[in-house]
């Protein structure tokens, strides 16, 4: 099955067979296809698309390019959550322990941040000692014992995705829904889960800028996931302003701990609860949204969710004391407020502008090889619609470099707008797909 023949068929708009797609993915895994051949087929797919059946075959081949974890010995319906990424999106950190405290196992394999979007692994690794590089055996054992493991992708899981994603990144083929489906779902289905809840974001700070594009992606992800034999649902959520009031790794962990105690920002809890309710229903411990929300709230109010997070941290080598003493997390040397120049209302908080300011401080990485400073970022962010007075803080900038602080300050001053009329953000949790 020569690469050039497969490339030509897709170039001409033909439907590829399961075997042809498998040959492509195998070529990415074992190196039998050259990078220029892989890139040529990626571009042909970007231009010609894949049918639902082709996308399902592609996802299955990607999943089977490595090891598929077997969690059959772990009791219960295993449910994970995946977000398409945003600004201040720390939902996975409080969500996992709350759902586990309600009786649903959560095997969660997450990624690192790149560009403006933060990564769950970077946030978790701001906890002193916390290890996300567990082996698959350790991952399986921890899910069985604790009910949850929060780790990164191992070399054994969907290795074809790492190669093909790198090529997509440099060949302008990232924005292709079938390829996105294969990338996301191959890793998630290889985890050994039974069900998946997706948080598909739309807006200025999201990968998908419009609700229509997010809906199209969500529908494709649900269809392909179900074709793979899993129960899948997707929520569309808005990402116009940052989620919560912090952006930055240790700062977001602190806010996540507050959420676990029932003291976090209302918007963070709204998204966490909406996703958690779907996870509890898929996990078979709640019959409807009302019952699920009551269970989630009880897990928080009783302290069981906080205790479960502490248990997860300790199991993965971290300092469990941070749950009660968040000040043990890394602290930036410089903490400077950005204040309002006039009285008025917060008319806008541009999620992308805030994200780029945090990136300049060192909270994220512009390139995969960049280092991340866990202590820096932004806290105390105002929300759209709030009233402010001249001299009152719009946020606090956490920095370790004076030059980066000055540049981020200027960026934030443009991103946060105070005017005569309060800004009205769109509805946060928008639509359920599937």
Catalogue the active-site residues. 82, 161, 168, 183, 187
Of 318, 282, 258, the closest CA to residue 90 belongs to 258
C-alpha 110/C-alpha 363 separation (Å) is: 17
C-alpha 420/C-alpha 413 separation (Å) is: 17
Q: Which two tokens stand for residue 341?
A: 């120049």
Find out whether 220 and 198 touch, Cβ atoms under 8 Å: no
Q: Which two tokens stand for residue 306?
A: 């906080």
Where b means 16+ CB within 10 Å and e means fewer, 424-433 reads eeeebbbeeb
C-alpha 46/C-alpha 43 separation (Å) is: 5
In which element (H, E) is residue 40 found? Answer: helix 35-48
Backbone angles phi, psi at 196, to 5 degrees: -145, 135
Beta bridge partners of 247: 378
Q: Which two tokens stand for residue 293?
A: 């929300």
Beta bridge partners of 154: none
Find out whether 76 and 146 touch, Cβ atoms under 8 Å: no
- Compute, in degrees rounded to 10, the torsion defined by CA atoms 349, 351, 357, 358: 120
Q: For the sheet containing 377-379, what is the strand order?
A: 334-339, 393-399, 377-379
* Chain position carrying tokens 């890793």: 187
């Amino acid at each position: 099955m020569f690469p050039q023949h497969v490339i030509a068929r897709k170039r001409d708009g033909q439907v590829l067979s399961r075997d042809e797609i498998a040959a492509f993915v195998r070529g990415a895994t074992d190196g039998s296809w050259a990078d220029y051949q892989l890139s040529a087929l990626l571009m042909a797919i970007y231009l010609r698309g894949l049918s639902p059946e082709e996308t399902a075959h592609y996802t299955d081949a990607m999943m089977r390019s490595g090891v598929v974890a077997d969690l059959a010995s772990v009791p219960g319906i295993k449910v994970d959550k995946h977000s398409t990424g945003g600004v201040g999106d720390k939902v996975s950190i409080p969500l996992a322990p709350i759902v586990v405290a309600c009786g649903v196992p959560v095997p969660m394999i997450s990624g690192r941040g790149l560009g403006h979007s933060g990564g769950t692994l970077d946030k978790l690794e701001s906890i002193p000692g916390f290890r996300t590089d567990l082996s698959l055996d350790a991952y399986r054992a921890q899910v069985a014992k604790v009910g949850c493991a929060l780790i990164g992708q191992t070399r054994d899981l969907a290795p074809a995705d790492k190669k093909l994603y790198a090529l997509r990144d440099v060949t302008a083929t990232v924005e292709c829904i079938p390829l996105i489906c294969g990338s996301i779902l191959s890793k998630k289905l290889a985890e050994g889960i039974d069900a998946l809840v997706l948080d598909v974001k739309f807006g200025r700070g999201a990968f998908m800028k419009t609700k229509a594009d997010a809906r199209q992606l969500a529908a494709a992800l649900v269809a392909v996931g179900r074709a793979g034999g899993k129960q899948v649902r997707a929520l569309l959520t808005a990402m116009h302003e940052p989620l919560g009031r912090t952006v930055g790794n240790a700062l977001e962990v602190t806010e996540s701990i507050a959420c676990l105690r029932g003291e976090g920002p209302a918007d963070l809890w709204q998204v966490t609860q909406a996703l958690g309710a779907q996870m509890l229903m898929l996990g078979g411990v709640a019959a409807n949204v009302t019952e699920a929300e009551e269970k989630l709230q009880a897990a928080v109010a009783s302290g069981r969710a906080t205790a479960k997070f502490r248990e997860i941290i300790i199991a993965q080598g971290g300092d469990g004391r941070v749950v009660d003493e968040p000040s043990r997390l890394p602290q930036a040397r410089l903490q400077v407020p950005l204040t309002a120049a006039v009285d008025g209302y917060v008319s806008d908080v541009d999620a992308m502008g805030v994200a780029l300011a945090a990136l300049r401080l060192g909270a994220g990485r512009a390139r995969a090889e960049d280092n991340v400073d866990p202590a820096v970022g932004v806290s105390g962010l105002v929300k759209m619609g709030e009233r402010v007075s001249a001299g009152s803080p719009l946020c606090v900038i956490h920095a370790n470099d004076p030059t980066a602080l000055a540049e981020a300050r200027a960026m934030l001053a443009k991103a946060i707008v105070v005017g005569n009329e309060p800004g009205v953000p769109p509805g946060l949790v928008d639509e359920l797909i599937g």
